[in-house]
Amino acid sequence: MSFTGKYELQSQENFEPFMKALGLPEDQIQKGKDIKSISEIVQDGKKFKITVTTGSKVLKNEFTIGEESEIELLNGEKAKAVVQMEGNNKLVTQVKGMKSVTELNGDTITHTMTLGDLTFKRVSKRI
């Protein structure tokens, strides 16, 4: 199953408390909470290029499954991480005490991030 495509954010849960836990300033949290972000994913075998555009903020990450790469987090911090593929539709990584799971089901991507006992969930649909 290929992740390649453009996806628009449909819904999200626990955005504000999760962003506070990451240390984002309140004004950025308020600006970002209602913006429908667009994620563009290009998959070439085990190589991924992901671009998330939220208003004027663009987050770009490139990685290869099973290899260490530097990824930019939601708060702008950069960290080393290894992304693994589970089955043919799930990307999983652990970075800075946070677990990130991106699951593709048909035209829907569910991205769940867990930090301690706080879970942030985003659901996006292919456009």
Domain span at 88? 5-126
**pLDDT above 80: residue 116:** yes
The Cβ of residue 56 has, within 10 Å, a number of other Cβ atoms equal to: 7
**pLDDT above 80: residue 59:** yes
Nearest to 13 by CA among 114, 102, 106: 114
Rounded Cα–Cα distance for residues 6 and 39 (Å) = 6
- Which residue would you say has higher pLDDT here, 28 or 44? 44
**Number of domain units in the chain:** 1
Kindly report whether the global pTM for this prediction surpasses the value 0.85. Answer: yes
Rounded Cα–Cα distance for residues 50 and 41 (Å) = 5
User: Please, what is the average pLDDT of the chain?
Assistant: 93
CATH number, domain of 33, equals: 2.40.128.20
**pLDDT above 80: residue 97:** yes
Rounded Cα–Cα distance for residues 53 and 43 (Å) = 18
